[in-house]
Amino acid sequence: MKLRALMALTVAAVAGLMLLGAGIGGLSYGPASAEDCLPTTGARSASAASDGGTEGFDREQLTNARLIIAAGAKLGVPARAHLVALVTAMQESGLRNLPGGDRDSIGLFQQRPSQGWGTAAQLHDPTYAASKFYQRLAKVPGWERLSVTDAAQVVQRSAYPNAYAKHEPAASRLLTAIGTGMPACSPVSAQGWVAPVKAAVVSGFRTTDRPGHNGVDLGAPRGTTIRAAAAGRVVQSVCNVVPASHGCDRDGSPTVGGCGWYVDIDHGGGVITRYCHMSQEPRVHIGDRVTAGQPLGQVGSSGNSSGPHLHFEVHLRGDSSPAGAVPPTEWMAAHGAAIG
């Protein structure tokens, strides 16, 4: 009996290793980082667990939401993947484990056996279905740079690709209320704004000694995740350095000119924000749509810089030149997302 038990344990261990090497355990999300935090929306979401973050969902829906989140936590996915999965299940099934659907669609995500998602019995298991969703999402190059709607659509290929967006606020509140063991991100204000980093202002807007300084310097450590201050469209994502031969993939200095790796986002209504001196090529590209709080890159010291920090600017009237710049601390405070 002892020999048989030992053999059974050995077989189980080998099977587990094979799963980790070739199956769901082989997801390529990468290690957890500072950007792995729970997305929140407004003051209400910051306390969602105590004042109704689960409001509007019944016991069945909450159970399925917890199973989706638990499957992601077991796989070590980042918070944004949890959000994409919840939004998808809300659109596809209303967070209900449906026995059928269009053609051969089944379960929470309405995945189809005929499309290689698994057997009907497997797809009716919420944990299996959620794990397969995360597995497919991880294989999408640059999925983390996509909007939640686009990330969901590229995995699901829905006939209604624009329908996911309406579920994002509720999914964000639900995710915050249920939790994943991750810290909370800075909350997005009621006006839709969030601090790009949490750090003190180490150099102000157009001070006496720097009258040409058209933004503020936020003294965040190297590698800190820089987040979009509000939703919008990326209109610049380039290396700006003088001389060009210096490049942006190494630290600059006060004798080097330019913003280094930087991003400009057009938020509509003539409002543009700028994020300078990133440590490496930004994670977003010209034309990308971004959400408030979405990671753009990491704090560095490229371009005209004497040390790691984020140089942050706000421009009005659609004017990205110095003439359009306004004091960022005043603008952000007025929009519920104080910096510094």
Residues 49 and 64: their CA atoms lie apart, in Å, by 17
Residue 180 pLDDT greater than 70, yes or no? no
Structure tokens at 167: 């579920």
| Confidence band for 114, pLDDT divided at 50, 70 and 90 | very high
Alpha carbon separation from 284 to 42, 159, 229 (Å, rounded): 24, 26, 14
Residue 270 pLDDT > 70, yes or no?
yes
Task: Identify whether the C-beta of residue 303 lies closer than 8 Å to the C-beta of residue 224.
Answer: no
Q: At 299, phi and psi to the nearest 5? A: -60, 135
- The reported pTM is 0.60
C-alpha to C-alpha distances, 321 to 117, 124, 317, 325, nearest whole angstrom? 50, 55, 10, 7
Which is higher by pLDDT, 142 or 318? 318
pLDDT of residue 47: 39
CATH number of the domain at 24-178, out of 1.10.287, 1.10.530, 1.10.3470, 2.40.50?
1.10.530
The least confident of 54-58, 219-223, 253-257, 277-281 is 54-58
Residue 36 confidence (pLDDT): 61
| Nearest partner of 261 among 247, 277, 246, 272, judged by Cα | 277
Would you place residue 19 in the very low, low, confident or very high pLDDT band (cuts 50, 70, 90)? very low
Cβ-based neighbour number of residue 327 at 10 Å: 16
pLDDT recorded at residue 32 = 43
The answer for residues whose C-beta is within 8 angstroms of residue 300's C-beta and 6 or more apart is: 222, 223, 251, 260, 261, 277, 278, 279, 280, 308
- Among 50-64, 145-159, 161-175, 313-327, name the most confident range: 313-327
Mean pLDDT of all residues in 239-264: 96
| DSSP state string for 32-60 | --TT--B--BHHHHHTHHHHTTTTT--HH
Query: Rounded to the nearest 5°, which phi and psi values hold at 66?
Result: -65, -35
- CA–CA distance, 111 with 117 (Å, rounded to integer): 6
- For 179, other C-beta atoms within 10 Å of its C-beta total 15
Q: Regarding the domain with residue range 201-334, which homologous superfamily does it belong to in the CATH classification?
A: Glucose Permease (Domain IIA) (2.70.70.10)
Taking 3-state DSSP, the helix, strand and coil percentages for the chain, each rounded to the nearest 5, stand at: 35, 20, 45
- Dist. CA 176–CA 171, nearest whole Å: 9
Report whether pLDDT(6) > 80.
no
Q: Contact 290/229 with Cβ under 8 angstroms? A: no
Lowest-pLDDT range of 35-39, 58-62, 96-100: 35-39
**13 pLDDT higher than 50:** no
Q: Where are the domains of the chain?
A: 24-178, 201-334
Mean pLDDT of the 199-205 span: 95
Summarised one tens digit per residue, pLDDT across range 115-173 is 999 999 999 999 999 999 999 999 988 887 788 888 889 998 766 667 888 888 888 88
Give residue 217's pLDDT: 97
Contact between 38 and 185 under an 8 Å Cβ cutoff? The reply is yes
